[in-house]
């Protein structure tokens, strides 16, 4: 037995850097240091209209299996979900985060390999599956329960199916089992997003020495206490997510593909683009996580029987009304986000293909009259950012037809479910656009606006001519 425990040297293959795009091994101190899985192949990852593009399995020369991707913790990440789970053991909507790292012994035995070392288990649990061909060990929270983690490329594997394991127990030797001979030796981990804090603690324990290189020193190590930080990630479910889905739906945010958002409290991939738009529009960081800053804009609905201010008991005074935070026009369900907004807004993570640059002279919007352009810009500035320019142009047309034909005549721009509503400063003047219906192209909308202006100019000229004739008739 070694006399002193040794601390792992933790590294990873870093992202492409410099003009050459060269990659090199880099030191890892914690989970935040770990880059996107396969950082070279995924360097061009981006999101458009709620769907992730430019990733490894979309490249022309890719020869591997299907992969899934998401935006988690402010970065594009590879994930495993039901659609890419080759073992079929994930529950509905469950998501595993995928990461790679390298473990090294800083003082290997003479003639030994610094990477030929045992890999500690990231969790306590039950070994539900062992696949020798891929060096894979799957760990559930209990027999027949939920998958917590998978470790791949071990060779040999030192555990068996249907056994319980402890935190830090050796799962097998770090290797490259299931990979080409040219692949480097490393640890591949997949961990449930609901156990993100456990993964953070695990990486801290590896890099900090709490889980030493030598297995005998890990036998009495217990997992750290996990403290809830109020952050929910893709794949999780909670009543507070339902509150957020309700507010987002009421403000007109849509799922990827244009359909309505689910309102069942489950955070699925189809909600990601809308969530990122919502975060940007409301002054929260675009993390892709449902965090306290985001949930501040989705207050929980009070229970009617207990929390309503008009609920009181006989012979007791009515409760003093709680002061409510001020809200913004069109956002009655949450505090006013405008004090937290920066100008200009940060670049959107989720880009929309239907948003051309309105300042480009070649774009149809540049052909609008000055008054119509001001009207369009006023609606654009107050409408949710995820709405396309086609929707805003349709709202501009509807406003003009309703008599709200100038920017200073707008009193309110707000979403009501799937409808974008424009209220005028004159009582009774309002316009509504159903965003679920097909919208005319920008060029068509601009032409309709110009045609409307010409019609009104002709009407005004005709009325002016009639007025002159009437005046002449009265003067005879």
* Domains in the chain, number: 3
The mean of the pLDDT values for the chain is 89
46-48 and 350-351 beta bridge pairing: parallel
Q: What percent of the chain has pLDDT over 90?
A: 66
What phi, psi does 13 have (nearest 5°)? -80, 115
How far is it between the farthest Cα atoms of the chain?
123
- For 359-385, what is each residue's pLDDT tens digit? 444 468 888 888 998 899 899 888 887
Q: What domain range is 369 assigned to? A: 360-452
Average pLDDT over residues 407-434: 90
For residue 10, list its beta bridge partners.
Answer: 103
**Neighbour tally for 22: CB within 10 Å:** 10
Q: Is pLDDT above 90 for 34? A: yes
Q: Is residue 355 part of a domain?
A: no
440-443 long-range CB contacts below 8 Å, 24 or more apart? 440/390, 440/393, 440/394, 441/364, 441/390, 442/356, 442/363, 442/364, 442/365, 442/389, 442/390, 442/393, 443/364
Confidence at 315, pLDDT banded by 50, 70, 90 = low
Domain termination site, one of 218, 252, 280: 218
Q: Are residues 63 and 90 in the same domain?
A: yes
Average pLDDT over residues 391-409: 93
Q: Are residues 391 and 343 in the same domain?
A: no
Q: Are residues 211 and 149 in the same domain?
A: yes
Tallying the residues shown for the chain, one arrives at: 476
Give residues with Cβ within 8 angstroms of 218, minimum separation 6. 120, 168, 169, 170, 211, 212
Q: Are residues 249 and 369 in the same domain?
A: no
Q: Are residues 69 and 195 in the same domain?
A: yes
Positive or negative, the CA dihedral 417, 419, 424, 426 is negative
CB neighbour class for 3 (10 Å; exposed up to 12, middle 13-18, buried from 19): exposed
Angle at 172 between CA 168 and CA 178, to 5 degrees: 130
pLDDT given for residue 258 in this prediction = 84
Torsion of CA 417, 397, 355, 258, to 10 degrees: 30
> Residue 176 and residue 115: Cα distance in Å, rounded?
11
Average pLDDT over residues 390-414: 92
> Residue 164 and residue 472: Cα distance in Å, rounded?
103
Confidence at 388, pLDDT banded by 50, 70, 90 = confident
pLDDT given for residue 275 in this prediction = 98
**CA-based R_g, the chain, Å:** 30
Q: Is residue 341 part of a domain?
A: yes
Q: Are residues 343 and 447 in the same domain?
A: no
pLDDT given for residue 51 in this prediction = 94
Q: Are residues 203 and 254 in the same domain?
A: no
Q: Are residues 142 and 290 in the same domain?
A: no
Q: Is residue 45 part of a domain?
A: yes
pLDDT given for residue 219 in this prediction = 94
More reliable by pLDDT, 343 or 265: 265
Q: Are residues 73 and 171 in the same domain?
A: yes
Q: Is residue 320 part of a domain?
A: no
209 by DSSP, 3-state: which? coil
Domain termination site, one of 218, 243, 276: 218
pLDDT given for residue 11 in this prediction = 98
Taking the chain, what is the end-to-end CA distance rounded to the nearest angstrom?
Answer: 123
- For 136-187, what is each residue's pLDDT tens digit? 999 999 999 999 999 999 999 999 999 999 999 999 999 999 999 999 999 9
Helices and strands (H and E) in the chain: how many: 8, 18
pLDDT given for residue 335 in this prediction = 75
pLDDT given for residue 268 in this prediction = 97
Q: Is residue 206 part of a domain?
A: yes
Q: What percent of the chain has pLDDT over 70?
A: 87
**Neighbour tally for 373: CB within 10 Å:** 18
pLDDT given for residue 455 in this prediction = 87
pLDDT given for residue 464 in this prediction = 63
Q: Is residue 205 part of a domain?
A: yes
pLDDT given for residue 117 in this prediction = 97
Q: Is residue 76 part of a domain?
A: yes
Confidence at 340, pLDDT banded by 50, 70, 90 = confident
**Nearest CA-CA partner of 432 in 412, 452, 446, 448:** 412
Q: Is residue 121 part of a domain?
A: yes
Which DSSP state fits 145? S
Q: Are residues 122 and 173 in the same domain?
A: yes
Q: Is pLDDT above 50 for 58? A: yes
Q: Is pLDDT above 80 for 314? A: no
Q: Are residues 170 and 272 in the same domain?
A: no
pLDDT given for residue 360 in this prediction = 47
Give residues with Cβ within 8 angstroms of 450, minimum separation 6. 367, 368, 369
Q: Are residues 260 and 180 in the same domain?
A: no
CATH of the domain at 277: 1.10.101.10
- For 231-284, what is each residue's pLDDT tens digit? 999 999 999 999 999 999 988 899 998 889 999 999 999 999 999 999 999 999
């Amino acid at each position: 037995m070694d006399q002193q425990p040794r601390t792992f040297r933790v590294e990873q293959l870093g992202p492409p850097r410099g003009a050459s795009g060269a990659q090199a091994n880099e030191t890892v101190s914690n989970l935040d240091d770990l880059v996107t899985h396969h950082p070279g192949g995924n360097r061009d990852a981006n999101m458009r209209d709620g769907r992730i593009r430019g990733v490894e399995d979309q490249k022309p020369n890719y020869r591997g299996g299907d992969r899934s991707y998401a935006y988690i913790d402010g970065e594009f990440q590879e994930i495993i979900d039901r659609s890419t789970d080759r073992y079929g053991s994930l529950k509905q909507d469950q998501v595993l985060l995928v990461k790679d790292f390298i473990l090294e012994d800083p003082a290997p035995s003479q003639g030994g390999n610094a990477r030929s070392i045992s890999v500690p288990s990231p969790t306590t649990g039950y070994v539900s599956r062992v696949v020798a061909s891929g060096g894979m060990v799957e760990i559930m929270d209990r027999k027949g329960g939920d998958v917590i983690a998978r470790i791949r490329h071990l060779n040999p594997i030192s555990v068996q199916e249907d056994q319980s394991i402890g935190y830090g127990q050796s799962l097998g030797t770090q290797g490259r089992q299931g990979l080409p001979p040219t692949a480097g030796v490393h640890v591949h981990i997949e961990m449930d997003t609901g156990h993100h804090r456990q993964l953070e603690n695990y990486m801290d324990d590896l890099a900090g020495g709490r889980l030493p290189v030598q297995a005998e020193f890990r036998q009495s190590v217990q997992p750290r206490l996990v403290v809830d930080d109020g952050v929910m990630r893709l794949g999780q479910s909670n009543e507070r997510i339902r509150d957020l889905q309700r507010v987002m739906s009421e403000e007109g945010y849509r799922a990827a593909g244009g359909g309505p958002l689910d309102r069942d409290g489950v955070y699925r991939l189809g909600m990601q683009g809308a969530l990122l738009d919502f975060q940007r529009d409301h002054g929260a960081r675009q993390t892709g996580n449902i965090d306290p800053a985001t949930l501040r804009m989705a207050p929980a609905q009070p229970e009617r029987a207990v929390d309503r201010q008009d609920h009181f008991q006989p012979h007791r005074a009515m409760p003093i009304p709680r002061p409510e935070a001020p809200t913004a026009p069109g956002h009655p369900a949450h505090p006013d986000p405008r004090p937290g907004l920066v100008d200009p807004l940060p670049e959107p993570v989720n880009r929309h293909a239907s948003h051309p640059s309105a300042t480009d002279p070649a774009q149809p919007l540049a052909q609008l009259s000055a008054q119509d352009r001001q009207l369009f810009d006023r609606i654009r500035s107050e409408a949710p950012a995820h709405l396309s320019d086609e929707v805003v142009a349709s709202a501009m047309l509807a406003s003009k037809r309703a008599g709200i034909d100038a920017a200073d005549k707008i009193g309110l721009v707000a979403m009501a479910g799937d409808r974008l509503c424009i209220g005028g400063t004159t009582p009774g003047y309002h316009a509504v656009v159903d965003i679920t219906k097909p919208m005319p192209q920008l060029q068509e909308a601009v032409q309709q606006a110009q045609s409307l202006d010409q019609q009104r100019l002709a009407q005004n000229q005709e009325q002016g001519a009639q007025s002159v004739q009437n005046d002449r008739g009265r003067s005879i």
